[in-house]
Amino acid sequence: MAGLMVREKVTEQGDKIEDELEMTMVCYRPEGLEQLEAQTNFTKRELQVLYRGFKNECPSGAVNEETFKQIYAQFFPHGDASMYAHYLFHAFDTTQTGSVKFEDFVTALSILLRGTVHEKLRWTFNLYDINKDGYINKEEMMDIVKAIYDMMGKYTYPVLKEDTPRQHVDVFFQKMDKNKDGIVTLDEFLESCQEDDNIMRSLQLFQNVM
């Protein structure tokens, strides 16, 4: 009986500690949300809803690449989303820590959903710039475009030929590489996207899968 009482007391203390830890997190978050409200295009209420959803998927408060891939795979069951999720994860993980925190997630989401055209294009450039050297080469563009086609799956695009991604990249890269030096700078990317409706429409289509 005494042992049971001790166990109950320990359990109560453990529950109390967990409750206190949870309260600490809950009390801490509103300050963080106020800061995020100032930094993003979301209201505090919207951030609270987003945070609850994020915590539901990622109880630890951060998501690693493997979990990110698993979450993304659920949305594209007919294709292989692993490579695109890999590239997208590293675009979200701006500090290159190997994990995406709520702040990283909501900052990117704010740009993609409510950012200006210029902000969205800068973010997209960063996604395509896989090695983060400040330029996009044709191989990087090919890797991203192929990853998108792979993710959408054969059921979404039944008429696509094997070389369709390459043809797509050849046309777009030729338009973007203004000075024909084999790389696309941020300025070239911004200028090409904003002056060519076909490129802009294509990028908007790709942004829909982000």
With respect to residue 202, please indicate whether it lies within any of the assigned structural domains: yes
- % pLDDT > 90, the chain: 55
Token pair listed for 61: 């408060």
The boundaries of the domain holding residue 149 are 120-209
Same domain, 132 and 103: no
Q: What are phi and psi of 52, to 5 degrees?
A: -60, -45
Domain count across the chain:
2
Indicate whether 189 belongs to any domain. Answer: yes
Say whether both 61 and 103 belong to one domain: yes
- Whether 28 has a pLDDT exceeding 60, the answer reads no
Measured CA angle at 26 (ends 59, 55), to 5 deg: 20
pLDDT of res. 206: 57
User: 193: alpha, beta or left, given left = phi > 0 and alpha = psi -120 to 50?
Assistant: alpha
Distance CA 57, CA 78 (A): 22
Q: How many secondary structure helices (H) and strands (E) does the chain include?
A: 10, 4
Does 58 share its domain with 134? Answer: no
Last residue of a domain, one of 61, 79, 114: 114
pTM exceeds 0.85, yes or no: no
CA 177, distance to chain mean position in Å, is 26
**Pair 175, 204 in one domain:** yes
- Are 101 and 133 part of one and the same domain? no
Strand-pairing partners, residue 62, are: 101
Q: Report strand pairing: 99-101 vs 62-64.
A: antiparallel
Vertex 169: Cα angle to 72 and 86 (nearest 5): 25
pLDDT at 15 over 90: no
Structural domain includes residue 163: yes
- Report how far residue 210's alpha carbon sits from residue 208's, in angstroms, rounded to the nearest whole number: 5
Kindly state whether residues 163 and 85 are assigned to the same domain: no
Domain assignment present for 205: yes
Note whether 99 and 153 are same-domain residues.
Answer: no
pLDDT at 193 over 80: yes
Q: Which CATH number characterizes residue 79's domain?
A: 1.10.238.10
| In contact, 192 and 178? CB cutoff 8 Å | yes
**Which pLDDT tens digit goes with each residue over 195-208?**
988 888 777 655 56
Q: How confident is the model at residue 31 (pLDDT cuts 50, 70, 90)?
A: low
Is residue 31 a part of any domain in this protein? Answer: no
Q: Assess whether 110 and 126 both reside in one domain.
A: no
Please, what is the average pLDDT of the chain? 81
Which pair of structure tokens corresponds to residue 203?
């990028």
Of 10 and 154, which is predicted with more confidence? 154
4 found inside a domain: no
Listed residues 114, 133, 162: the one ending a domain = 114
105-152 pLDDT, tens per residue?
999 999 999 999 999 999 999 999 999 999 999 999 999 999 988 888
Is 15 domain-assigned? no
Q: What angle do CA 98, 100, 102 make, to 5 degrees?
A: 155
The answer to whether residue 62 sits within a structural domain is yes
Q: Contact at 8 Å (CB) between 113 and 40? A: no
Q: Phi/psi class of residue 96: alpha, beta or left (left: φ > 0; alpha: ψ in -120 to 50)? A: left
